[in-house]
Amino acid sequence: MTDQPFRQAGPYGPGPRSESVALPRPGFAPEAWLSDWRRRLPGAIAKGRQDVAIYLRELCRELPGAFRQDWLLLTIIIAYTVTSAAIAVDLEAASILSVGLYYDVYSFLLPITFFLVFAGRALYFALIVRPKRPFAMLMADLRHNLALPRRLAQGAPMLISVPLLAGSFSVVKAAIPLMNPFSWDLRLEQWDRWLHGGVAPWELLQPLLGHPFVSQAINIGYNLWFFLLWFSWLWQFFTLRNPQLRMQFLLSVQMAWILVGSLLATVFSSAGPCYFGHIVDGPNPYAPLMAYLHHANESYTLWALDAQQMLWDGYSLGHLNLGAGISAMPSMHVAIATLLALLGWRTSRRMGILLTAFVALIMLGSVHLGWHYALDGYVSIPCALLIWWGSGWITRRLMRLPSAAAS
Interior angle at CA 210, CA 338 and CA 282, nearest 5: 90
Alpha helices by DSSP H, listed for 180-302, are: 185-195, 201-209, 212-238, 243-255, 265-267, 276-279, 287-297
Tell me the pTM.
Answer: 0.85
Is the residue at 24 inside a domain? Answer: no
Is the residue at 316 inside a domain? Answer: yes
The rounded mean pLDDT for the chain is 86
Neighbouring C-beta atoms of residue 301, cutoff 10 Å:
14
SS3 15: strand
**Residue 234, amino acid:** L
CA distance 208 to 359: 18
- Radius of gyration (C-alpha) of the chain in whole angstroms: 31
DSSP conformational letter for 5: P
pLDDT category, 18, cuts 50, 70, 90? very low
Is the residue at 127 inside a domain? Answer: yes
Domain count, the chain: 1
DSSP conformational letter for 395: I
Q: What is the mean pLDDT of residues 39-49?
A: 76
Which secondary-structure segment (H or E) carries 325?
Answer: none
Is the residue at 185 inside a domain? Answer: yes
Is the residue at 74 inside a domain? Answer: yes
The phi and psi torsions of 311 (rounded to 5 degrees) equal: -65, -40
Taking only the tens place, the pLDDT of each residue in 150-196 is: 999 999 999 999 888 988 898 888 889 889 999 999 999 999 999 99
Is the residue at 252 inside a domain? Answer: yes
Is the residue at 42 inside a domain? Answer: no
What is the domain extent for residue 80? 49-398
Is the residue at 151 inside a domain? Answer: yes
Would you say residue 146 has pLDDT above 90?
A: no
Taking only the tens place, the pLDDT of each residue in 195-213 is: 999 999 999 999 999 999 9
Interior angle at CA 229, CA 224 and CA 235, nearest 5: 125
CA distance 77 to 166: 10
